[in-house]
């Protein structure tokens, strides 16, 4: 009985994986609004009725794809929930860029015009919130840092990440993490010096 359950779980997992990959491939070609269930199931060679066993429609499937990616991003943020030194801030940035590199095709789709603007907004809001907390941890006495600087750092980090995803930038995740780290930390250190004089 248990082995039958395992087989069923594996079959469901495989089916969902095929549907997700099929949708991602179709979204490289056209807007999600123009993708039909019929087109998707034909692409992945799955019965239409099987699709409806798991999802209500294309948007339901897309939401599950987005939620899975957001869970990965949140896991990175939780792993580095408290940053007490510069080395940890670099490790956070590196892991974050590696997560996006691992999901680069999907991220590129989700942040461009054929993707889901809801995901982009949710991702940016989540990262802004987490980056603010990490800056607070890193700086200790954050009262010396003007509010406008926080906005600059948050938007700058997200802007670099977005640029790297949406363009075919040749830099590796390690190179991007280093560049972002040095841009933010060097600026923070200079700002702290001017504020404490």
* 89-100 pLDDT, tens digit each: 888 889 999 999
When pLDDT is averaged across residues 136-140 and rounded to a whole number, the result is: 66
Spatial distance between the Cα atoms of 7 and 10, rounded to a whole number of angstroms? 5
Structure tokens at 109: 């789709």
Q: What is the pLDDT of residues 60-87, one digit of tens each?
A: 999 999 999 999 999 998 887 766 666 7
| CATH code, residues 2-55 | 1.10.10
Predicted structure pTM score: 0.79
CA separation for the pair 180, 196 (Å, rounded):
24
Q: What tens digit of pLDDT does each residue of 2-36 get?
A: 566 666 688 889 999 999 999 999 998 998 999 99
Could you state, in order of their start, the residue ranges of all structural domains in the chain? 2-55, 66-196
**Pairwise CA distance, residues 144 & 195, whole Å:** 6
**CATH fold label, 66-196:** Tetracycline Repressor; domain 2 (1.10.357)
Residues 17-41 as b/e (b if ≥16 CB within 10 A, e otherwise) read ebbbebbbebbeeeebeebebeebb
């Amino acid at each position: 009985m248990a082995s039958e359950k395992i087989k069923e779980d594996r079959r469901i997992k495989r089916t969902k994986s095929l549907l997700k990959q099929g949708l991602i491939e179709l979204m490289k070609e056209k807007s999600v609004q123009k993708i039909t269930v019929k087109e998707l199931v034909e692409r992945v060679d799955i019965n239409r009725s099987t699709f409806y066993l798991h999802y209500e429609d294309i948007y339901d499937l897309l939401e599950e794809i987005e939620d899975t990616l957001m869970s990965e991003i949140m896991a990175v943020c939780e792993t580095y929930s408290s940053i007490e030194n510069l080395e940890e801030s670099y490790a956070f940035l590196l892991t974050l860029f590696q997560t996006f590199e691992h999901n680069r095709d999907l991220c590129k789709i989700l942040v461009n015009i054929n993707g889901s603007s809801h995901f982009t907004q949710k991702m940016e809001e989540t990262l802004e919130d987490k980056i603010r907390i990490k800056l607070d941890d890193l700086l200790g006495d954050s009262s010396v840092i003007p509010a406008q600087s926080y906005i600059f750092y948050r938007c700058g980090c997200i802007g670099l990440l977005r640029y790297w995803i949406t363009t075919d930038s040749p830099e590796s995740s390690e190179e991007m993490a280093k560049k972002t780290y040095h841009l933010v930390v060097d600026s923070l250190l200079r700002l702290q010096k001017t504020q404490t004089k």
